Amino acid sequence: MIDFVQNTIDGVMIGSSYGLLALGFTLIFGVMRRLNLSYGPSIMVGAYLGTLLYVQLGAAPVAVAVATVLGAALAGIYVERLCFAPMAAGAGVASMVSSFAIWMQLEQAAILILPRHTYPFPPLATGVPLALGPFLLRIDHLIMLAAALGLSLGVQLMLYRSRFGLALRAIIGNPVAAHLVGIDVKIAVLCAFAVASAIGGIAGYLVLATDQQVTPMFGMWATFKGLIAMMIGGLGSIPGAILGGLVLGVVEAHSQWHFGPQVRDLIAYLLLFACLVLRPGGILGETPARSLVDRGKA
Amino acid sequence: MDDYLISVLSHIGIISFIALSAYLLLLTGEISFGQQAFFAIGAYAAGIATAMWGWPLAAGLAWGAATGAAAAALVGVPTLRLHGLYFAIATLAFAEMVRLLFELFRYQIVVVGELVGPNGADGFRGIRYIFENDVGPLQFLLLIYGLLAATLAGFLLLDRARLGVSFRMIGEDEVLAEINGIAVTRHRILAACLAGAIAGIGGGLYAHLTTYVEPRIFDVMLGVHSLAYGLIGGLGTAFGPLLGVLIDIGLLESIRMFAGYRMIIFGGLVALLLIVCPRGLLDEIMVHRIREAWRNICQARPRMTGTRARQ
C-alpha cells in the first residue's frame, strides 16, 4: 500500500513535467492546427545553451534557467519563421515534415557545440526530501508540480482574460475573419509560438535540473512525452494537457515499479493507442468531427 | 563496381521500399509515422523463415511481405476512423509498441550446432542465407533492384488503373470519393495492406543484406525519414520517394565531405525546398509538365523523319 501511494506520488510529480511539455505543445497545436515536431529539439537548444554557460563559465542556476527559456523561445521563433510562417493553408504535412528536418538540424547543431554524451546540469534544489508520514516528497518535484499548475492557470488566464488571448482565440476560430477585424495574425501566431516554446523551456529546465544531466536524447524525449500527454489529455485543451501528463506519469510510475522500463514504455504507447482508437479526442478534448466545413483545412 | 558503391546502392534500394510504403499511404491522404513497424516485422519474419526454418529466400521474402500486410490490416481496422494527426500518432504508437515487443521477443533454436534467432534487445544474428548460398553482393543488388522495379511498375500501373484514381480521390477528399461510389473503407484497408507488404519486402531484403537486425534500428526516426522522402522527392509520381532517398542517402550520406554538418545542411535544404514546393520536387504539376514535354518530343519526331524522308 505504501509502495502504491509512493509510486502514485512519484507518478504525479513526473507527470507534472509531462503536463508542462504538453501545455506548450497544445498551445502551438491549438493556434496553428499543425504539429511542430521541432518542439522538443527547440527546448534542447535552450538547455544546451544553459549547459554551455554552466560548463564553460560556471553560471549560476538562475542564469542557466534564463538561458534555457530564452534559448528555447528563440529556437521556437526560428522554427516558426522557417517551417510554419511561409507555408500556405493546406500545407500542414509540409510544415510537419519541415519541422522534422529542422529537428535534425537543431540536434546536430547542439551536438556540434557540446559533443560529449552527457553533461552536468545544475540542480535546482538540493537537500533531503520532505517526509510526509512514510512518504517522501522531493523538493524539486514539488516545484515542478507547482510550476505545472501555475503555468496552466496562467495560460488559461492569458487565453480568456487578455486581449492577446482574445486575438488567439479569434485566430483559432477563423484566421481570415481575425485578420479582417484588424488582428495581426502573423505577429500573434509568432508570439504564441514563442510563448509555447518558452513554456517548453521551463519544463525542460525543471526536468533537467531534477535529472542533473543533459544528453542529446533530450529533444526526442521531450517531443514524444509532450505529444503523448497532449494526445491522451485531449488536443487543444489546457486542463487536458496537464491531466494527460499526470495520467501518463502515474501509469508509467506503476508499470515501471511492476514490470521494468521496457514494459513501462510499451504500456505508455498502448495507453496512447487505446486512447486514440476508443476516444480520439482524448480525455478532455472534443471528438474530432470530420464535418463538411472542416474538410480540406490544415 | 567496388564494395562501397554496391553497399550504398543496396541501401538506397532497400530504403526505397519503406519510402514507397509511406508514399502509398500519402496518396490516400494518410500520414503514417509507423511504416517502420512493417519493415521490422518483414525483417524478422523473413529472417526467421530462412535462418531458422530453412526456407528458400523467395519464400522468406514472400512470408515477410505477407506478415507485413497482415500486421497492416490488424492496425488498419481499428484506426480506420482516425485521420490526419490522429492517424499519424496512432501509427507512431503502434510502431513503437512493435519495436518494444521485439525487445522482449525471444525465440531461438539450434541450427547446425549454433543458437540462432531473435534474442530480445540483443537482436537477431546469423541471417546468413546469402553467404551460405553463395549469393554475391552484386547478385543481391540485382535482386533488390529487380523487386524495386517490379514494385515501381506496379505503382505506374496503379496510376493508370481505376484503383489508383480511387486512392488519389480518397486522398483528395474522402467524402466526395464516398459520394462518387468509391468504397472508402475497403480501399483504405487495401492501401494499408499493400503498403505493409511493400515495407515487409524491404525489411526482408534488409535482414538478408545485413545478416543482423535489432529492434533499435526500427525506431521512429526511420519512419519519419521514410515519410519525409516522399514529400521531398514529390507526391506526383512513385519516382518521387526514390528521388528523396537518392538525395538523402545517395548525395549526403555517401559524400563524406559533409560529415558532422550533414544534418545541418540537409535539414535547412529540406525546409527551404518545402517552402518552394510543399508537395515535393516531382509534384503533380512537374509530372504533368514532364509528361507534356515528353508527348511533344514523341509527336515532333515522326514529322521530322517525314521531312527527312522527303528530302
pLDDT digits (tens, 9 = 90+) for A60-115: 888 999 999 999 999 999 999 999 888 877 778 888 889 988 998 999 899 888 88
Q: What is the mean pLDDT of residues B38-51?
A: 94
Cβ burial of B253 (10 Å; 0-12, 13-18, 19+) is middle
A237 Rama class: left (phi>0) / alpha (psi -120 to 50) / beta: beta
Among partner residues B228, B260, B278, which is closest to A87 by beta-carbon distance? B278
Report chain A's terminal Cα–Cα distance, integer Å. Answer: 48
> Contact A102/B267, CB-based, under 8 Å?
yes
pLDDT band at residue B35 using 50, 70 and 90 as cut-offs: very high
**Cβ contact B86–A280 (<8 Å):** yes
Q: Are residues B85 and A280, on separate chains, in Cβ contact within 8 Å?
A: no
pLDDT at B69: 96
Range B131-150 average pLDDT = 91
Give pLDDT, residue A164. Answer: 92
Is pLDDT larger for residue B161 or for residue A284?
A: B161
If one counts every other C-beta atom within 10 angstroms of the C-beta of residue B298, the result is: 9
> For B183-198, what is each residue's pLDDT tens digit?
999 999 999 999 999 9
Residues of A in Cβ contact (< 8 Å) with B121: 262
How many Å lie between the alpha carbon of B104 and the closest alpha carbon of chain A? 8
Quote the pLDDT of residue B3: 84
Q: What is the pLDDT of residue A294?
A: 44
The residue whose grid cell reads 544553459 is: A50
Average confidence (pLDDT) over A276-285? 80
The answer to whether the beta carbons of residues A193 and A212 sit under 8 Å apart is no
In chain B, which residue's Cα lies nearest the Cα of A278?
A: B78
Q: CB A108 to CB B263 under 8 A?
A: yes
Q: Do B267 and A101 touch (CB under 8 A)?
A: yes
Model confidence at B302, pLDDT cuts 50, 70, 90, reads low
Average pLDDT of the residues in B83-104:
90
| Helix H or strand E encompassing A137 | strand A135-137
The DSSP 8-state label assigned to residue B23 in this structure reads H
| pLDDT over 50 (residue A146) | yes
What CA–CA distance (Å, rounded) separates A150 from A133? 26
ipTM of the complex in this document: 0.86
Distance between CA B105 and CA B122 in Å, rounded? 10
Mutate to test the interface with B, among A277, A279, A293 (most CBs of B within 10 A): A277
Residue B100, pLDDT score: 92
For the beta carbon of residue B175, count every other beta carbon within 10 angstroms: 13
Is the pLDDT at B93 greater than 90? The verdict is: yes
At CA B300, angle to CA B296 and CA B302, rounded to 5? 135
Which residue of A105, A252, A271, A295 to mutate against B (max B Cβ within 10 Å)?
A: A105
**Over 80: is that where the pLDDT of A291 sits?**
no
Handedness of CA A31, A34, A39, A42 (dihedral sign): negative
Residue A132 has pLDDT above 80, yes or no: no
**Dihedral, CA of residue A235, residue B95, residue B33 and residue B185, to nearest 10:** -80
Q: Do A97 and B268 touch (CB under 8 A)?
A: no
Range of weakest confidence among A112-116, A191-195, A254-258, B108-112: B108-112
CA distance B106 to chain A (A): 14
Alpha helices in chain A (DSSP H): 2-32, 39-52, 61-79, 92-113, 139-161, 163-173, 175-180, 185-211, 218-233, 238-259, 261-278
Write down the pLDDT at residue A290: 47
Non-local (6+) Cβ contacts of B287 within 8 A are B234, B236, B237
Please check whether residue A45 touches B, CB under 8 A: no
Q: Are A220 and A193 in contact (CB under 8 A)?
A: no
Helix (H, G, I), strand (E, B) or coil at A133: coil
Percent of chain B with pLDDT over 90: 44
Share of chain A above pLDDT 90, in %: 50
Number of Cβ within 10 Å of residue A86's Cβ equals 18
Nearest by CB to residue A104, choosing from B90, B220, B263, is: B263
* Mean pLDDT computed over every residue of chain A: 87
pLDDT tens-place string over residues B167-187 = 999 988 888 999 999 999 999
- Mutual angle of helices A163-173 and A185-211, in 10-degree steps: 110
pLDDT tens digits, one per residue of B252-285: 666 666 667 777 887 888 888 888 888 888 888 8
State the Cα–Cα distance between residues A288 and A282, nearest whole angstrom: 10
pLDDT at A296: 42
Cα–Cα distance, B229 to B32 (Å, whole number)? 13
Residue of B nearest to A281 (CA): B86
**Other Cβ atoms within 10 Å of B230 Cβ, number:** 30
Which of B274, B276, B277 is most worth mutating to test chain A (most A CB atoms within 10 A of its CB)?
Answer: B274
Q: Flag whether residue A87 sits within 8 Å of chain B, measured between CB atoms.
A: yes
What's the grid cell of residue A196?
Answer: 509555447
Which of A72-81, A91-100, A152-161, A194-203 has the lowest average pLDDT?
A91-100
pLDDT-derived band at A293, boundaries 50, 70, 90:
very low
Report the pLDDT value the prediction gives residue A117, as an integer from 0 to 100: 86
Whether the model pTM is above 0.90: no
Q: Are A97 and B231 contacting, i.e. CB atoms less than 8 angstroms apart?
A: yes
Separation in Å, CA of A134 to nearest CA in chain B: 35
Q: What pLDDT score does B236 carry?
A: 84
pLDDT value at position B301?
A: 66
- Is residue A182 over pLDDT 50? yes
Inter-chain residue contact B79 with A277, CB threshold 8 Å: yes
- Residue B311 scores a pLDDT above 50: no
pLDDT of residue B255: 63
Question: Which phi and psi angles does B238 have, rounded to 5°?
Answer: -70, -15
Tell me the pLDDT tens digit for each residue of B241-254.
Answer: 999 998 888 776 66
